[in-house]
Amino acid sequence: MDLAPFKLDIYELLVDYAKENYTSFADFKRVWMAKKFSYIYEGRPKTNSGVFMQSLFLHCIGHMTSQSSLPQRLAGLYCLYCLYECQPYKPQFKIYLSLEECKQLKDFVAMAKQNGAPIVQVLVKKMLDRGMFLFGFINLLGDNGEKQVEELTAAQNKRIKFASDKLFANTQVESYMHMDLGAEFELDSIKKLSKEYAEAKELALGEASQAIDVEDARHILQNDNLLGDRVDEVVKEWDAQKEEFYEKTGLSRGNEIAVLDNDESGILRHEGDGFDEITQLLLE
């Protein structure tokens, strides 16, 4: 996996931001959108997604914890946040931080506040509250980084699988998620039986009318919705609600991780991700 082009793109983004001596998140977001930077994910590899994402995160962390100028270090943090928010994976890959990097992040927050950039404290607190970080001991910025990222990704995937297994253990949630209601109801049989019943009812009423007055009972045949048709409507409504559930949650019919496409503006968004709301909060 050749990540050099991705890292170069990130570096150029940070340089473009830093050269103007910007410090606000609003300015970084403007530069990000002007470059349509969410398209960085268009060239993502089809395998080793965890390695890919952690490598991008690590590259930003490297700039954030470096001895560069304050604008470039701020750009590293802002880029880290935006890459997390705009990633096309569900569930989202968390940002791995070692104990050493946690200490460096704490020092960076204090330094930024002293230098007139309190937004860093607000942003880091928001990231902590939303559980964006995955804390560990190993410093991935050292040697054998790729191997360590792979090990970290495997551990994270194992935790996700364990949580998923626990969530669906001894419950019917998963079966309901993928249930074919038409097959459960044997819809074809119901429609056939209800049609036969309607025909038999009409025939019986017709034969009875030859012997007695059946006008008072003729309303039985009028505006009569067949049971099969009503069940068919229920099944269609169930299928429509299930499709809406898949779209809103990002789950596929196989309960796999789904990848969301980017919109025409080039910004990858998830419904309800709160990106604009967070931005507004940070700019207050």
> Rounded to whole angstroms, how far apart are CA atoms 233 and 223?
17
The pLDDT score that the predictor gives to residue 93 is 93
Whether residues 139 and 265 fall in one domain = yes
Question: What is 227-256 written as a DSSP string?
Answer: HHHHHHHHHHHHHHHHHHHHHHH---TT-P
- Residue with token string 């590293």: 76
pLDDT band at 10 (very low <50, low <70, confident <90, very high): very high
pLDDT (average), residues 235-241: 76
Q: Which of 144-148, 174-178, 253-257, 270-274 comes out lowest in average pLDDT?
A: 270-274
Examine the pLDDT at 132 and tell me if it is beyond 70. Answer: yes
The pLDDT score that the predictor gives to residue 34 is 94
273's CB contacts (< 8 A; 6+ apart) are 85
> SS3 for 133?
strand
The pLDDT score that the predictor gives to residue 280 is 46
Whether residues 45 and 156 fall in one domain = yes
Can you give the residue range of the structural domain that contains 129? 4-170+258-283
Mean pLDDT of all residues belonging to the chain: 74
pLDDT band at 46 (very low <50, low <70, confident <90, very high): confident
Whether residues 29 and 130 fall in one domain = yes
Choice between 220 and 162, residue whose per-residue pLDDT is larger: 162
Whether residues 132 and 15 fall in one domain = yes
Whether residues 60 and 126 fall in one domain = yes
Whether residues 66 and 159 fall in one domain = yes
Whether residues 12 and 96 fall in one domain = yes
Examine the pLDDT at 5 and tell me if it is beyond 80. Answer: yes
Examine the pLDDT at 238 and tell me if it is beyond 60. Answer: yes
Tokens of 178: 């993928």
> Rounded to whole angstroms, how far apart are CA atoms 148 and 93?
15
Q: 3-state secondary structure string, 17-58?
A: HHCCCCCCHHHHHHHHHHCCHHHHHHHCCCCCHHHHHHHHHH
Examine the pLDDT at 65 and tell me if it is beyond 80. Answer: yes
End-to-end CA distance of the chain: 41
> Rounded to whole angstroms, how far apart are CA atoms 116 and 113?
5
Helices (H), the chain: 4-18, 25-34, 49-64, 70-86, 99-114, 119-129, 145-168, 173-177, 181-185, 187-209, 227-249, 275-283
The pLDDT score that the predictor gives to residue 39 is 92
Q: CA angle at residue 97 from 94 to 98, to 5 degrees? A: 145
Whether residues 46 and 126 fall in one domain = yes
Examine the pLDDT at 172 and tell me if it is beyond 60. Answer: no
Whether residues 115 and 59 fall in one domain = yes
State the total domains in the chain: 2
Choice between 261 and 140, residue whose per-residue pLDDT is larger: 140
pLDDT (average), residues 183-211: 66
pLDDT band at 38 (very low <50, low <70, confident <90, very high): very high
| pLDDT digits 0-9 by tens, 68-117 | 899 999 999 999 999 999 999 988 999 998 888 888 999 999 999 999 88
According to DSSP, the residues that pair with 98 across neighbouring strands are 136
| pLDDT digits 0-9 by tens, 207-233 | 656 555 555 555 555 555 666 677 777
Whether residues 49 and 153 fall in one domain = yes
Q: Which of 30, 21, 114, 14 is nearest to 66 (CA)?
A: 14
Whether residues 159 and 46 fall in one domain = yes
Whether residues 124 and 203 fall in one domain = no
pTM of the model: 0.52
Q: Would you tell me how many other CB atoms lie within 10 Å of the CB of residue 63?
A: 20
